[in-house]
């Protein structure tokens, strides 16, 4: 089994800090004498600091110091018991708290999946602390007229949808995932064209069962994921459990309520990156995404969509992602 105390990436060290009232583990890389050139990378669900393994050394080569936390509820970072401790204000305050703990005035904020949601809002809640933003997979177009939770309830009704499953009573989602972390992660960490077995559960109604059985088992690993990579992330969840990460979804409606008076305009230079086949963007074109994001991001400097790539963009298309990031960072 991987050793949780030893970092598997050369040149990266773990550091324990206290930020925003919780203990956090941070993977750190790069010289500390970088004149404040810090990149703060936030991962999503079900991910780990390790999902940035291709970006950490690349950003160091570009001259940046890099800080990559286990997000609240993940890995070796503390996981508060209260569901409301995972609302978007708390998660955004964690990002500013990391800067405080590291003695940094500002950073470039980078996030993927839920980490992108946190990144968008960290810049909104703490506009003076972040000089630029790179968001991946989850776009931002301002606060919607209705909470995502209510929208999904109306759209899916009695049919299964994983975000509603994560909100089901009794903690059934994390119980399922905790019982088979390899099963859920190996079924999610695939490319759009990865071959799968037929799903065990074909009934669309949520009463038919959980999520793992609805996802066909992989017939092999995608080219961008080694057995050791998968084992490391699975081990992280075997140790921490899934409840912390699932709690992010339990705040979908609360997040909508607490951002009612938040200025929705992101005023820092911003880049958006996604896979063209990422289900999160629902088939939107580059032009459509640029128009939607641009309404609330006046300094949107680019939208990059990579053909044939799915949700795990910084892993699936690491070289393309790094090149897009480098081009954006050179222009700052």
Helix pair 114-125, 88-102: axis angle to 10 deg = 70
Cross-strand bridge partners of residue 107: 130
The answer on 184 and 141 residing in a single domain is no
Q: What pLDDT shows up at residue 35?
A: 63
Pick the last residue of a domain from 227, 249, 271: 249
Burial 282-317 (b: 16+ CB within 10 A, else e): eebeeeebbebbeebbeebbbbbbbeebbbbbbbbb
What is the residue range of 17's domain?
13-145+259-330
Kindly report the three-state secondary structure assignment for every residue of 263-330.
Answer: CCCCCCCEEEEEECCCHHHCCCCHHHHHHHHHCCCCCEEEEEEECCCCCCHHHHCHHHHHHHHHHHHH
Domains contained in the chain, number: 2
Query: Do 230 and 287 fall within a single domain?
Result: no
Q: Where are the alpha helices (DSSP H) in the chain?
A: 55-61, 88-102, 114-125, 148-156, 162-165, 172-179, 181-188, 227-240, 243-249, 252-258, 286-294, 313-316, 318-330
Task: Name which of 223, 236, 224, 231 is nearest 186 in CA terms.
Answer: 231
Same domain for 48 and 134, yes or no, is yes
Domain end call among 216, 249, 282 = 249
Residue 41 lies in a domain: yes
pLDDT at position 326:
98
Residues 199, 292, single domain; the answer is: no
Of the candidates 247, 211, 199, 311, the residue with the CA atom closest to the CA atom of residue 80: 247
Residue 182 lies in a domain: yes
Query: What tokens does 221 get?
Result: 């690993």
Please check whether residues 116 and 162 belong to one and the same domain. no
pLDDT value of position 1: 46
280/296 same-domain check: yes
67-95 burial, b at 16+ Cβ within 10 Å, e below that, comes to: bbbbbbbbbbbbbeeebebbbbbbbbbbb
pTM passes above 0.85: yes
In a domain, 3, yes or no: no
In a domain, residue 279? The reply is: yes
Residues 133 and 237 in one domain: no
Give me the CATH number covering residue 64: 3.40.50.1820
71 & 138 share domain:
yes
Q: Is 141 in the same domain as 117? A: yes
Question: Is residue 29 one of the residues assigned to a domain?
Answer: yes
Residue 5 lies in a domain: no
Q: Which residues of the chain have pLDDT under 70?
A: 1-5, 33-36
Same domain for 84 and 162: no
Residues in the chain: 332
- Same domain (yes/no): 172, 245: yes
Tokens of 277: 């086949």
User: Which of the listed residues 225, 249, 273 is the one where a domain comes to its end?
Assistant: 249
Please list the active-site residues. 113, 311
254 part of a folded domain: no
Residue 7 lies in a domain: no
> Do 70 and 76 meet the contact criterion of CB atoms below 8 Å apart?
yes
Check: CB of residue 7 under 8 Å from CB of residue 14.
Answer: yes
**DSSP string for residues in 206-229:** GGG--SGGGSPPBSS--TT--HHH
Shared-domain flag, residues 38 and 134: yes
């Amino acid at each position: 089994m991987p050793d949780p105390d030893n970092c598997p990436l050369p040149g990266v060290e773990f550091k324990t800090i206290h930020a925003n009232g919780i203990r956090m583990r941070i993977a750190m890389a790069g010289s500390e004498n970088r004149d404040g050139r810090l990149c703060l990378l936030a991962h999503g669900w079900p991910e780990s600091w390790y999902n940035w393994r291709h970006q950490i050394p690349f950003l160091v080569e570009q001259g940046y110091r890099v800080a990559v936390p286990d997000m609240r509820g993940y890995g070796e970072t503390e996981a508060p018991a209260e569901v409301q401790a995972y609302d978007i204000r708390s998660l955004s305050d964690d990002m500013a708290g990391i800067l405080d703990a590291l003695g940094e005035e500002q950073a470039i904020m980078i996030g993927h999946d839920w980490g992108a949601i946190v990144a968008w809002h960290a810049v909104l809640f703490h506009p003076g602390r972040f000089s630029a933003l790179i968001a991946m997979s989850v776009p931002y177009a301002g606060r919607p007229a209705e909470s995502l939770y209510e929208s999904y309830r109306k759209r899916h009704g009695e049919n299964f949808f994983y975000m509603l499953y994560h909100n089901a009573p009794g903690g059934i989602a994390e119980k399922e995932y905790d019982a088979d972390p390899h099963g859920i992660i190996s079924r999610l960490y695939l490319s759009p064209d990865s071959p799968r077995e037929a799903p065990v559960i074909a009934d669309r109604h949520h009463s038919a069962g959980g999520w793992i059985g609805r996802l066909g088992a992989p017939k092999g690993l995608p080219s961008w994921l080694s057995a050791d990579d998968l084992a490391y992330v699975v081990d992280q969840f075997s140790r921490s459990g899934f409840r912390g990460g699932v709690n992010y979804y339990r705040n979908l409606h609360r997040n909508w309520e607490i951002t009612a008076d938040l200025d929705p305009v992101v005023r820092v230079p911003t880049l958006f990156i996604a896979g063209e086949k990422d289900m999160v963007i629902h088939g939107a074109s580059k032009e459509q995404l640029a128009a939607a994001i641009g309404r609330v991001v006046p300094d949107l400097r680019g939208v990059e969509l990579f053909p044939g790539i799915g949700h795990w963009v910084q892993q699936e298309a690491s070289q393309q992602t790094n090149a897009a990031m480098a081009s954006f960072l050179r222009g700052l």
